[in-house]
Structure 1
Amino acid sequence: MTIFHIRASVASLVLAASLGTVTASVTAVGPASAQPGRVHVSENFDSGVLPAGWRAIDGTWRVQNGRLYGTSASSSQNNKITFGAHLEHFRFEATVRFESVSASTRWAALGLDVPAGGATPWWIATMRSGTTAANGLEFAERTTGNTWNVTDTAAAPTAAGTGRDVQVAAEVHGSQARWFFAGREVLRTGSLRRSGTAGQALFVNGATVSFDNVRVTELAPSALIRPPGTPLTVIAHRGASAAAPENTLVAQDLARRGGADWIENDVQPSSDGVPFVLHDATVDRTTNGTGRIRALTSAQLKALDAGSWFAPQYAGVRMPTLAEQLADLRTRGGRLLLEIKGAHTRAEVSRIVSLVREQQMADRVLVQSFEVDVLRYTRELAPELPLGLLRSTLDANPVAISAQLGLAAYNPSSAALLTRPAVVADLHRAGIATMVWTVDTASAWQQLDSLGVDGVITNRPAELVAWNATH
């Protein structure tokens, strides 16, 4: 299956493209067969004409002096030129130069999932000429109702301005994408909704923009293993649990807003079999109720206050069901490191798997547990879901047990890992990631980063995001 962090290295295979004038007869290009490393588009516009298969949908597009120029007369015109094939995993890069703009808020964009005919919905990675604004860079959807759904924003480290070339790129893996500005990763999203058929595009809004060195390279399905030189994956322990009541939707939202790559949770069933998000065996510590979660009905659990214990302003916050948590992540963005807490029967695991599938979240969930039987049940029931084994002490041979269970990740405590840090490299050689728990200090993050750990589970996700940005 396809999951998540990005291998940036690709082969240098070049696809020779025939050149010619685009015509109205160009039709949509369907999904291409998977060929990681293949360069699907490589265009420097030295031919002097629009490349074959490029379709100018609206606005003025011309090739001149070895560059492609697009002009949009006003901010109401989202002018686009479409090309390429549908790819689930790809890197889209270009040299972009704002020649003139009507205002610093005007923008150019890389179209990440755009039908050949330009119909909505489509997704873009946007760059304003005033890139240092808080929304200088964006991931956004143009909906079927012709409204904007802006899912993620960030400020670039420098201003694009006008008259200067900027190297930009987006790397896409299914619903995940990363935005690179001048060689630096500045923004991520987990909210793309892919069409399964649409290709790529270039956009201009309220500006004249020139493009050069446009390249689309197919990537291998992403892995959990962190490529060298990329940041630690940030995993929010029970959400932003240092800032909000743990395992609630408000903690999840704070973690998402803080830039966490994953939300980590704990799932257990009520007495009537509904999976709820709760860490402890009882509700005593984190609600105004008492008793074992498995002895309380879903109605009883839903009546409890799960916020007041943390701070008065969270009074009335409720314990979410797993279905509610998955629905929130599906609609608002995010990935889930789903811990099945404690012993579960095969039927109980089956209900959890069914919820993941019903919410169409199989490509954004990694199941982890301390319980080997739980992982075996999950693998039998849902072989598409990646698995992680939680450990408070290291196994004698982590690679062997990972192979036996079919793991994607081996997830020890920080203290356990530090007894034998060489296991990280051993696991990586076997294609297995390491996600370490639960680490909240900069000195410890530095140590784990130096060991090559892939992800860190932390109560302070926003702080780890900031630490990543400075290191």
Structure 2
Amino acid sequence: MAHRTLHDVRIGRPENSVSGAKAAMAAGYGLEIDLQLSSDGVAMVFHDDLLQRLTRHYGKVRDHTAAQLQAMRLSHGDEGIPTFADFLQLVNGQVPLLVEIKDQDGALGPDTGDMEQAACDDLKGYDGAVALMSFNPHSVAKCAEFAPHIPRGLVTDPFLTDDWPDVDAARLAELARIPDYDRVGACFISHNVNDLDAPRVAELKSSGASVFCWTVKSAEQEADARRIVDNVTFEGYLA
């Protein structure tokens, strides 16, 4: 799965872009993408909460309408931020889609629902292979409520405090144990590639869970990861 599409800013293909999606599909790769919510409730294909790393604009994604976001140019390219609905129309079932719903609560807590509803609404009638996932188990539970037929999983991690400075340490320790897998009806995890030897990963795999990983950055790292995982999310090389 091409991480945030098959992006390469050196040749004008930004993250989560239409051009990156087209390149991935042409090469036969599946697509991993991210969703954020606009101020008017539209699911947008974009990774960060803030605009400034990936566009020439500043501020929060959620403070702008879908039309405003579409009009913004992605850095290192000449295209706007796509809506999820437009992205689905582009992919049209040609390759599998792995869709990460970014945390809207801010602390991986229960303040979820709007983003998940928007994404699931866009997926009504979509006929391609697709799965939904999130670091926030509450988001995954909402996906189970709104679209129980769509496969769903948890994005998982050691959840170290240095990597998650805005989240309470007790919450991080809880999530590191991956306690919500059964509760949310998950069928896979996508785990940090640097933590694949964790006992909980082995336990879930032995119980029948599919195991993916993020983010693989070399062929050598991929070969090592495939001792354990069923598939990889990659960037920076051609898998």
TM-score normalised by length of structure 2? 0.83
Per the alignment, do residues 355 and 396 of structure 1 end up closer, same or farther by CA in structure 2, a change over 3 Å counting? closer
Partner of 2:114: 347
Counterparts of 1:415 and 1:425, CA distance in 2: 14
Q: Distance in 2 between matches of 1:330 and 1:297?
A: 25
In structure 1, runs of 5+ residues without a counterpart are 1-234, 465-471
Aligned with 1:389 (options 147, 154, 158): 154
Where do 1:4-153 residues align within 5 Å?
none
Q: Which residue of 1 aligns with 2:123?
A: 356
CA-CA distance at 1:285 after TM superposition: 1.4
Q: Does 1:252 align with 2:21?
A: yes
Kindly state the Cα deviation for residue 427 of structure 1 after the two structures are TM-superposed.
Answer: 2.2
Q: Hey, what does 1:327 align to over in structure 2?
A: 89
- SS for the counterpart of 1:305 is coil
1:338 partner amino acid:
V
Question: 2:6 touches 2:15 (CA, 8 Å); kept in 1?
Answer: yes
1:407 aligned to which of 186, 190, 213? 186
SS in 2 for 1:267: strand
Would you say 1:453 and 2:229 are equivalent positions? yes
Aligned residue type for 1:249: V
State the SS of the aligned residue for 1:240. Answer: coil
* Whole-angstrom CA distance in 1 between matches of 2:123 and 2:61: 21
The whole-number CA distance in structure 2 between the counterparts of 1:442 and 1:299 is 39
**How far apart are 1:396 and its partner, in Å?**
6.1
3-state SS of the aligned residue for 1:342?
coil
In the alignment, residue 80 of structure 2 is paired with which amino acid?
R
Structure 1 position 290 matched with structure 2 position 51? no
Query: Matches of 1:347 and 1:341 in 2, distance apart?
Result: 12
Equivalent residue for 1:436? 213
1:200 corresponding residue in structure 2: none
> Aligned to 1:403, what secondary structure does the other structure show?
coil
Deviations 1:412-470 (A, max 9, x none): 1112224x2x5454323312111110011122111112x23111111146x11xxxxxx
Work out whether residues 276 and 322 of structure 1, in 8 Å CA contact, stay in contact via their aligned partners in 2.
yes
Aligned residues: 215
Moved over 2 A (4+): 394-398, 422-429
**Displacement after TM superposition at 1:373 (Å):** 0.9
Larger Rg, first or second structure (1 or 2): 1
Query: CA–CA distance in 1 between the matches of 2:116 and 2:177?
Result: 27
1:426 aligns with 2:188: no
C-alpha distance in structure 2 between counterparts of 1:271 and 1:299, whole Å: 10
- Cα-to-partner distance string for 1:140-190 (whole Å, 9 max, x where unaligned): xxxxxxxxxxxxxxxxxxxxxxxxxxxxxxxxxxxxxxxxxxxxxxxxxxx
SS in 2 for 1:284: coil
What CA distance in whole angstroms lies between the structure 2 residues aligned with 1:297 and 1:423?
41
Q: Distance in 2 between matches of 1:423 and 1:372?
A: 16
- CA–CA separation in structure 2 for the residues paired with 1:299 and 1:423: 43
Query: Secondary structure at 2:36's aligned position in 1?
Result: strand
Instruction: Please give the per-residue CA displacement for 1:324-356, whole angstroms capped at 9, x wherever unaligned.
Output: 11111116x112111111126323311210101
The TM-score normalised by the length of structure 1 is 0.43
Classify the secondary structure of the residue corresponding to 2:215.
coil
Separation in structure 1 between the aligned mates of residue 136 and residue 58 of structure 2, nearest angstrom: 26
Match of 2:34? 266
Shift of 1:293: 0.5
Aligned match of 1:377? 142
In structure 1, distance between residues paired with 2:8 and 2:187:
28
Change (3 A) 1:396 1:296: closer
Letter in 2 for 1:339: E
Post-superposition offset of 1:404: 2.3
Identity %: 28
**Contact (CA 8 Å) 1:424, 1:452: kept in 2 or not?**
no
Match of 1:280 among 30, 34, 48: 48
Query: For structure 2, which runs of at least 5 residues remain unmatched after alignment?
Result: 106-111, 160-174
Q: Distance in 2 between matches of 1:263 and 1:376?
A: 23
C-alpha distance after superposition, 1:184-243 (max 9, x if no partner): xxxxxxxxxxxxxxxxxxxxxxxxxxxxxxxxxxxxxxxxxxxxxxxxxxx110001235
Q: Is the 8 A contact 2:196 2:225 kept in 1?
A: no
Cα pair 2:135 2:156 within 8 Å, conserved = yes
> Does residue 1:238 correspond to 2:4, yes or no?
yes
1:417 paired to 2:185: no
